[in-house]
Chains A and B, each alone.
Chain A
Amino acid sequence: MPLEISGLVKRFGEGSEAKEVVRGLNLSLRPGECFALLGPNGAGKTTTLRCALGLTAPTAGEIRLCGLPVPEQAREARMRVGVVPQLDSLDPDFTCAENLIVFAGYFGIHESAIRPRIPELLAFAGLEGKDNARIQSLSGGMKRRLTLARALVNKPELLILDEPTTGLDPQARHLIWERLRRLTAEGTTILLTTHFMDEAERLAHRLAILDAGRLLAQGSPREVIAAHIEPQVVEVFGEWTGNGQTAGPDSGAAAWAARYAAGFSKRCEISGETAFCYTDDAAPLLAHLAHQPGLRTLHRPANLEDVFLKLTGRELRD
């Protein structure tokens, strides 16, 4: 197994200052799958990854990385793992090729063994011919791709990516996604953290939603959606002027929802000026809304973001 975590607890500080960041986490990756760890900021995603890599000792629990116990044999296990960290850690004093050569050296790979692979690694990162380019001359997306290439110098069985597309433009994100799909097709297991639901929905064979150090849901994207939320969503927004209402502060979708939502949907959440109505069958609700002047609607299937918001709440995280 590429990674097995059971009963993981991580506490920082002692006594009354103690903060439990991971609270009894169980996770098991299957060979060749892409597994996404979803969670709002501060959910414990990065701490879980650091524990898995043996970079911080767990307070309790068992971890096996590539079959080896962590943290006891973390260093040996990391021989077979590639990591793309959240923050840029490329060597600014080196060129692209030198970054790969020096990093391979940390795995005991000699320069003569890595040099022939550099064109292939740079091509994989979409950086053909950038061998001698300086890091400062690369865009954010290029840096992230070079970091991805760097994580592949040791031909890892397991690739761990911490928020691989945060801060990238759509073109750069799509390129990274395409490359990650190619890697899983070639048999590399991938573990990634993200708070982009579309990223998880597109890439992950399985995913887990983490909040406050606990797993709230686990399974394939479809399974998680089916298990946790009604299949249809109708978003209602606009100025409601039906049933004698006049335009004003109480005429929004919320006022409509207070009166009618419960009758037409299983669950309704108000967020800002929009009412989210969750239902198994949207037809009666849509028929009703057709006669409510001023309201606008968006009917769509439920997605991962709906599950995520249902499980982790809508309030802001810092």
Chain B
Amino acid sequence: MDKSSGRRGHFAPPRLSLRFAAVWRRNFLVWKKLALPSVVGNLADPVIYMLGLGYGLGMLVPQIEGVSYIAFLAGGTLCYSTMNAATFEALYSGFSRMHVQKTWEAIMNAPIALDDIVAAELVWAASKATLAGTAILAVIAAFGFTASPLALAAIPVIFLTGLCFAALGLIMTALAPSYDFFMYYFTLFITPMTLLSGVFFPQSQLPDVVRHIADALPLSHAVSLARPLLLGQMPHNIALHAGVLAAVTVAAFWLALALTRRRLLT
């Protein structure tokens, strides 16, 4: 009788427990040591882009969908910087902990299962992205690019976006032989998606064929939720957009877990 888990074994449903919290707390305690530079680092880049493009390009673009270009850009910036924060954490920091520092190996020697570790990485990367996104939201509000209390409803959208891209990132982490591998993910997936998802310009500008593809991208769904909220409007099709983000999260997490089990448990 062969007891080892074959392909089917790796794809067994995730077995999750509250023990993931101890691993999440470990990452939080490390983050706390460098919290200020970390938040500033997550904040500086998107804010510079938003102000630079918003004011610079905004001079040439009178209005988009009835609002100033920079107000249009704010919702997109919020989503793509949340995506970036989650992605960087799941990729580079996750890979450091899994492969370089052997942190996961140490934790697996304690009574914590790999499933809980990967779940903790997912929730942690989403938490960090939520911190980054909320900080950007605060900057957006401070500049007066959003004035509606509805903007607060963008925070759960930020968290869901963080979960979604953390889960996608963990797939790459499970496959990566080294840090260099992540470059492909950025150039082949993250960057094109950022350009197609209505972050910088409305998707109505895209040719029809491209637009259908773009509509399916998870970042499009995040933008479709966050932008109206920042402009003080209720988004259309909330259930659809949130549902897609949630479904991608679940499917990507499952796949990431299966690949990580294959990598570490055989």
Q: Which residues of A contact B (CB under 8 A)?
A: 10-12, 53, 55-61, 75-76, 78-79, 83, 85, 87-94, 98, 102-103, 105-108, 150-151, 154
Are B111 and A59 in contact, with the CB atoms below 8 A?
no
Chain B interface residues toward A at CB < 8 A: 1-5, 9, 19, 22-23, 25-26, 29-30, 33, 101-103, 105-113, 264-266
Whether B29 and A83, one on each chain, are in contact in the complex, defined by CB atoms closer than 8 angstroms, is no
**Nearest-CB distance from A230 to chain B (Å)?**
42
Q: Is the CB of A105 within 8 A of B103?
A: no
Structural contact, A92 and B112, CB atoms closer than 8 A: no
CA gap between A63 and B221 in the complex, in Å: 49
Q: Are B111 and A78 in contact (CB under 8 A)?
A: yes
Nearest residue (CB) in B for A91 is B103
Q: Evaluate contact between B110 and A107: CB separation under 8 angstroms.
A: yes
Q: Which residues on A sit within 8 Å (CB–CB) of B4? A: 10-11, 56-59
Pairs A-B, 10 closest by C-beta atoms: A106-B110, A89-B102, A89-B106, A83-B109, A93-B30, A78-B111, A57-B4, A105-B22, A79-B111, A75-B111
Would you list 24 pairs from A and B whose C-beta atoms are within 8 A, ordered by A residue?
A10-B4, A12-B266, A55-B109, A55-B264, A56-B265, A59-B2, A75-B111, A78-B110, A78-B111, A85-B105, A85-B106, A89-B105, A89-B106, A90-B106, A91-B26, A91-B106, A92-B101, A93-B33, A103-B110, A105-B22, A107-B111, A108-B19, A108-B22, A108-B111
CB <8 Å contact, B30 and A91: yes
Min CB–CB distance A191 → chain B (angstroms):
13
The chain A residue with its CB closest to the CB of B6 is A14
CB distance from A15 to the nearest CB of B (A): 12
Given contacts A94-B29, A94-B30, A105-B25, 9 further A-B contacts (CB under 8 A): A55-B264, A56-B266, A75-B113, A78-B110, A79-B111, A85-B106, A91-B30, A93-B30, A98-B29
Residues of B within 8 A of A61 (CB): 3
B109:A78 contact, CB within 8 angstroms:
yes
- The residue in A83, A88, A91, A108 that gathers the most chain B C-beta atoms within 10 A of its C-beta is A91
Chain B, Cβ-Cβ closest to A80: B111
Q: Which residues on the A side are within 8 Å of B22 (C-beta)?
A: 105-106, 108
Q: Are B101 and A89 in contact (CB under 8 A)?
A: yes
Give the CA-CA distance A90 to B109 in the complex, in Å: 13
A103, B33: Cα distance in complex, Å: 17
Residues of chain B contacted by A55 (CB below 8 angstroms): 108-109, 264-265
- Which residues of the other chain, B, contact A79 by a CB distance below 8 angstroms? 111
What is the CB-to-nearest-CB distance from B119 to chain A, in angstroms, rounded to a whole number?
A: 14
Most B-side CB within 10 Å, residue of A59, A93, A103, A106: A106
Q: In the assembly, what is the distance between CA of A98 and CA of B25, in Å?
A: 12
Contacting pair B106 A103 (CB below 8 A)? yes
Smallest CB–CB gap between A132 and chain B, Å?
13
Do the beta carbons of A60 and B1 come within 8 Å of each other? yes
A59, B23: Cα distance in complex, Å: 30
